[in-house]
Chain A
Amino acid sequence: MKAIKTVLFLLLLLIGKIAFAHVGSPGVVYEGKAGPYNIIVNVNPPDVIPGTANVSVYIENYAVKIVSVQPVYWYAGDKGSPKADEGLPVKGTPGQYQASVWLMQSGTASMKITVDGTLGKGTVLIPVMAVSTAQRAMPKSLGWVLAGLGLLLVVLMATIIGASVSDGLLKPGTNNLPNIRRKKLTGASIAFLVLALMLYGGSSWWNSWSSNYAKYMYRPPLAKSSILNYDQQQVLHFQIDSNSLKAAKKSMSFIVPDHGKLMHLFMVRENSLDVFAHLHPVRKDSLNYFALLPDLPQGRYLVFADVVRWTGFNETIADTIVVPKKTWVKTASAKLYSAFFHDPDDTYVISNSTNQNVDNFPGKTTLVCGIPGETMKLADGSSAIWEHAANTPFEAGKVYPLTFAIHDPSGAAVKLEPYMGMMGHAVVLKYDGSVYMHLHSVGTFSMASQEILQNRMKGDEKIPATPDANRFRDSIDREITKIRKMDETERNRYLMASMPAMDMPEGKHNKMDAMVTFPYAFPSAGKYRIWVQMKRNGQILNSAFDATVK
């Protein structure tokens, strides 16, 4: 009975494991070119590594022979990658192909999509961060089935061992030997005991496996944000917690710029999501980042900081911070304050929901949030519209081209200018803060990651040697300074030249139309706010929209 209890207890352990909520928007969407083909790709990476990514490829209007998907890891390069998987056509949806691709190790990976058709061959590389984020519990039904089978196995084995040392040794036709019953019982009891010990050992092994998995699960670095004051000017101090880097043996020395900035930091006022800021802190050393804070209203803010490593690994460091009232009390030294400058690409916007007419921020420009299909007024008098049928909710998991158009006060389409080398930047945030995504017109991945992976394709299958941390950091700082010193036209040209996915002929950016599309699949149902950032007449145009996802 004790053994049965042990079996039940040990097998029930697997029923009660605690689920770990995953935060974020793990899907990767790409919209753009694969050679001559216009394609949209939606990658759903596994939440446990090793695991399989589901890749959907949509191809516009061309006769396609083969679509293949190959997982290319940064550490292995193109030469060290396995054979590609063929995408299978999806029945009933012409132009759509589906592939299941294995991602075996954690790290920077990518999907190399190759389209072969009447226009020839075209490829594109889409970065995917392969990380384990899920900690699953066993479904109760499966737990009971396994517990039942486990119990059956224990009882049956004890029966077999009991019979093996008793009647199994009797010549056929005989059934009466001294002590036979005692031998059977002794055999079965010893078997029970041994099995209980084995189950105990198995359970310890399982626990150690589980804790080992938990140990190597992906955890983003942590940071502590604080506000320093200098002459009524607030400075954000974003300090990376070095302890949070230890487990994964990460170093913040190997951060590389994305759109010419080391860090893209977003601040959004919690719950109401009415204040949004996009800042670009600069670093004093590998762990300490600073940014001059714009004139943000007081309150508690969610902070999301995006960084990219030299391996192309892109991650978001999240925190919260309370922005207090400005004071004359100096908490930053003059030396520190003078070391930082106002980045012309830093911006913020205040926007209220359409149903919220109260002016919470007297003296500040407050926009009224747009909703799909309806126009919203922007700060410079122009207007923005989300090109999506009004009152048509979005479906979770489905890829949508989120298209936004800008018109001047007369209603004519405007000419947009690049903002940090891109036609537009957008941030999607779920109202409960559980989903955050920084995206661009080509998709939801980091452009720097894509560039790094693209360059890695030229190398061999050997893992690149880690550079010297100090020298690497210095070289990146020199690069940032170089970019900062460029004038805007030069900077845009420089940044766009290094973006492989843009695939636009020289000079075409000057004729950009007034429309920007961000491909995105909302990961779950709920209420979201989307901030779209574009540039016109040298001014950053911020707009904000609300969306409901079913």
Chain B
Amino acid sequence: METNLYLPADYPAEKTATVNTVSTVQPYVYACVFSSLCIVTGLIWDISWHMSIGRDGLFAPPHLVIYIGAVVSGLFSGFQVLKTSFFSNPEEKAKAVNFWGIFYGSLGALFCIWGAIAMLTSAPFDDWWHNTYGLDVTILSPPHTLLAVGMMMIQFGALIAVIASANHLRENQSKTLHNWLFALAAGLLLTTFFTLFSEYLGKHRMHKALFYQIGCLLFPLYLIAVARAFKMKWAATATAAVYTLQLLLLLWILPLFPASPRLGPVLNHISHYQAFDFPLLIIFPAMMVDWLFLQLHTKKVWVKTVSAALAFLAVFFVVQWFFGTFLHTSVLARSWFFGGTSWYFGSDPNYPYRYSFRPENVDTGFTLIKGLMIAAVIATISGSIGYKWGNWMRKVQR
């Protein structure tokens, strides 16, 4: 049905103008990708801050990095909309969507503006929330959720902006720059998804079926979507690579800096930042998804989707189960490279399951098989939705 929205070659469409759609990456696209980087870096730094220092204020350094992301994307996108609406020729306007009668802007910019307003709205809301229900140290509260949705919307806007820009490329134009921008935008958004669900995706849960069910809910949806959305051979792999690199860099850099707890009780006396999680090895199932899409490109959609989703689960399970054993229990993982010793200051460092799996967190036998079968169903459904989502993103023109 969506294909109707494309102009068929023989469709006698009225053309308002002959638009020369040569793609140059507009400044707001760079700005939005930069914002996406700021947001996710600030978010992970903030988590690390809460694990190591505990308390923060409105203008704590990680918050400032997030705000920079919001402000930059809001200003650049807002400027893009105002410029297109009031200071552009009809040709420029013809590349944008018209809304509320007078405004013209790209979809990417609109998502970014929405995200910036949502983040702005969450600030006074959160301030009131703290005064009314207490200074929270939880990730999820209504104002924080609004903030998180705003952040994701900015990152999504960046992704859409890159895709739309790439869709204007001519056959003979180089796509390298767009490929890089896409991998960055998509990878950074993947990092945010992972971070928001990290409570369920920790290393101590890697032997539990729920871990794979949550993983299958998120990753086939997103990886199949990005693989479908962008005409790039290894799109999902590149996305996962950016995610991996970003988490690794933060895992290695943050603990270099001193930090000491500013809230009690302090059970784990630390002197440096406690790192966030080692990345999941999504890069391997992502490669499988890309490879299958290449192999099965002539097959029916459902064949591609179901194969990719199930292959995702198979590779994800094998890789992550064994890697989980290493990461959580091996002495070798307790090094700067894997960040295995990272531990919240308020938790007892002698917790008996710090380096071993709690029996409740291990599924075996039929429970595991049943859990994985549920994960397979989830993966298939999420992969199918992902394919449709990717299909839509693939078509974004403005």
Residues of B within 8 A of A81 (CB): 264-266
With A50-B135, A104-B264, A142-B128 known to touch, is A170 a contact of B398 (CB < 8 Å)?
A: yes
Q: How far is the CA of A413 from the CA of B64 in the complex (A)?
A: 63
User: Is B59 part of the contact surface with A, judged by Cβ < 8 Å?
Assistant: no
Residues of B within 8 A of A80 (CB): 264-267
Q: How far is the CA of A305 from the CA of B55 in the complex (A)?
A: 36
User: Is B15 part of the contact surface with A, judged by Cβ < 8 Å?
Assistant: yes
Interface string of B5-16 (1 = CB under 8 A from A): 111000001111
Q: How far is the CA of A169 from the CA of B19 in the complex (A)?
A: 15
A136 touches B132 (CB 8 A): yes
With A142-B128, A173-B16, A173-B17 known to touch, is A461 a contact of B266 (CB < 8 Å)?
A: yes
B107 touches A104 (CB 8 A): no
A76 touches B4 (CB 8 A): no
Residues of B within 8 A of A76 (CB): 264-266
B141 touches A157 (CB 8 A): no
User: Is B307 part of the contact surface with A, judged by Cβ < 8 Å?
Assistant: no
For residue A45, give the distance in angstroms from its CB to the closest CB of chain B.
13
Residues of A within 8 A of B168 (CB): 172
A149 touches B265 (CB 8 A): no
A146 touches B124 (CB 8 A): yes
Interface string of B137-162 (1 = CB under 8 A from A): 10001100100000000000000000
Residues of B within 8 A of A79 (CB): 266
A153 touches B114 (CB 8 A): yes
Q: Specify which of B55, B117, B128 is in contact with A149 (CB 8 Å cutoff).
A: B117
Q: Specify which of A102, A210, A213 is in contact with B262 (CB 8 Å cutoff).
A: A102
Segment among A159-167, A226-234, A344-352, A521-529 that sits at the interface with chain B: A159-167
Segment among A67-75, A317-325, A383-391 that sits at the interface with chain B: A67-75
A73 touches B111 (CB 8 A): no
Q: How far is the CA of A179 from the CA of B5 in the complex (A)?
A: 9
B99 touches A163 (CB 8 A): yes
A461 touches B5 (CB 8 A): no
Segment among A35-43, A201-209, A401-409, A468-476 that sits at the interface with chain B: A201-209
Segment among B39-47, B90-98, B185-193, B288-296 that sits at the interface with chain A: B90-98
Residues of B within 8 A of A160 (CB): 107, 110-111, 114
Q: Specify which of B54, B97, B124, B260 is in contact with A167 (CB 8 Å cutoff).
A: B97
B396 touches A169 (CB 8 A): yes
User: Is B21 part of the contact surface with A, judged by Cβ < 8 Å?
Assistant: yes
B397 touches A172 (CB 8 A): yes
Residues of A within 8 A of B257 (CB): none
Residues of A within 8 A of B118 (CB): 153
User: Is A174 part of the contact surface with B, judged by Cβ < 8 Å?
Assistant: yes
A205 touches B7 (CB 8 A): no
Residues of B within 8 A of A169 (CB): 2, 5-6, 392, 395-398
B264 touches A72 (CB 8 A): yes
On chain A, the number of residues with a Cβ less than 8 Å from chain B's Cβ atoms is 60
A210 touches B398 (CB 8 A): no
User: Is B120 part of the contact surface with A, judged by Cβ < 8 Å?
Assistant: yes
A461 touches B267 (CB 8 A): yes
Residues of A within 8 A of B263 (CB): 82, 102, 104
With A146-B121, A160-B107, A173-B17 known to touch, is A209 a contact of B262 (CB < 8 Å)?
A: no
Q: How far is the CA of A340 from the CA of B330 in the complex (A)?
A: 67
Q: How far is the CA of A143 from the CA of B17 in the complex (A)?
A: 46
Give the contact-size bracket for chain B: 35 or more
User: Is A177 part of the contact surface with B, judged by Cβ < 8 Å?
Assistant: yes
Q: How far is the CA of A205 from the CA of B5 in the complex (A)?
A: 39
Residues of A within 8 A of B16 (CB): 173-175
Q: How far is the CA of A173 from the CA of B94 in the complex (A)?
A: 5
User: Is A55 part of the contact surface with B, judged by Cβ < 8 Å?
Assistant: no
For residue B187, give the distance in angstroms from its CB to the closest CB of chain A.
22
Q: How far is the CA of A85 from the CA of B263 in the complex (A)?
A: 11
A153 touches B396 (CB 8 A): no
User: Is B100 part of the contact surface with A, judged by Cβ < 8 Å?
Assistant: yes
User: Is A292 part of the contact surface with B, judged by Cβ < 8 Å?
Assistant: no
A48 touches B133 (CB 8 A): yes
Q: How far is the CA of A145 from the CA of B99 in the complex (A)?
A: 23
B136 touches A50 (CB 8 A): yes
Residues of A within 8 A of B19 (CB): 172-173
Residues of A within 8 A of B91 (CB): 173
A82 touches B266 (CB 8 A): yes
User: Is A12 part of the contact surface with B, judged by Cβ < 8 Å?
Assistant: no
Closest to B394 in A: A169
User: Is B24 part of the contact surface with A, judged by Cβ < 8 Å?
Assistant: no
Closest to A160 in B: B110
For residue B367, give the distance in angstroms from its CB to the closest CB of chain A.
31
With A145-B124, A152-B117, A172-B19 known to touch, is A209 a contact of B133 (CB < 8 Å)?
A: yes
Q: How far is the CA of A81 from the CA of B118 in the complex (A)?
A: 37
B397 touches A82 (CB 8 A): no
Interface string of B181-206 (1 = CB under 8 A from A): 00000000000000000000000000
Q: How far is the CA of A132 from the CA of B133 in the complex (A)?
A: 9
For residue A201, give the distance in angstroms from its CB to the closest CB of chain B.
10
Q: How far is the CA of A64 from the CA of B141 in the complex (A)?
A: 43
User: Is B89 part of the contact surface with A, judged by Cβ < 8 Å?
Assistant: no
Q: How far is the CA of A290 from the CA of B258 in the complex (A)?
A: 58
With A209-B133, A210-B133 known to touch, is A175 a contact of B265 (CB < 8 Å)?
A: no
A102 touches B55 (CB 8 A): yes
B145 touches A202 (CB 8 A): yes
A179 touches B21 (CB 8 A): no
User: Is B131 part of the contact surface with A, judged by Cβ < 8 Å?
Assistant: yes
With A168-B97, A173-B15, A175-B94 known to touch, is A48 a contact of B266 (CB < 8 Å)?
A: no
Q: Specify which of B6, B124, B262, B267 is in contact with A142 (CB 8 Å cutoff).
A: B124
For residue B27, give the distance in angstroms from its CB to the closest CB of chain A.
19
User: Is A178 part of the contact surface with B, judged by Cβ < 8 Å?
Assistant: yes
B114 touches A164 (CB 8 A): no
User: Is B18 part of the contact surface with A, judged by Cβ < 8 Å?
Assistant: yes
User: Is B113 part of the contact surface with A, judged by Cβ < 8 Å?
Assistant: yes
User: Is B134 part of the contact surface with A, judged by Cβ < 8 Å?
Assistant: yes
B55 touches A138 (CB 8 A): no
User: Is B252 part of the contact surface with A, judged by Cβ < 8 Å?
Assistant: no
B18 touches A173 (CB 8 A): yes
User: Is A156 part of the contact surface with B, judged by Cβ < 8 Å?
Assistant: yes
Query: Which of chain B's residues 33-86 have a Cβ closer than 8 Å to chain A?
Result: 54-55
B18, B99, B114, B265, most chain A CB atoms within 10 A: B265
Closest to B97 in A: A163
A172 touches B265 (CB 8 A): no
Q: How far is the CA of A155 from the CA of B396 in the complex (A)?
A: 21
Q: Which 3 A-B pairs have the closest CB atoms?
A: A76-B265, A173-B19, A80-B265
Could you jot down 25 A-B contacts, CB within 8 Å? A49-B134, A102-B263, A136-B131, A145-B124, A149-B117, A153-B121, A156-B117, A159-B99, A160-B114, A163-B97, A166-B5, A169-B2, A169-B397, A171-B6, A171-B7, A172-B21, A173-B15, A173-B16, A173-B95, A174-B7, A174-B13, A179-B4, A183-B5, A202-B145, A209-B141
**Supplied contacts A82-B266, A104-B137, A177-B4, 7 more A-B pairs, CB within 8 Å:** A50-B137, A145-B124, A169-B5, A173-B94, A176-B14, A177-B7, A180-B5
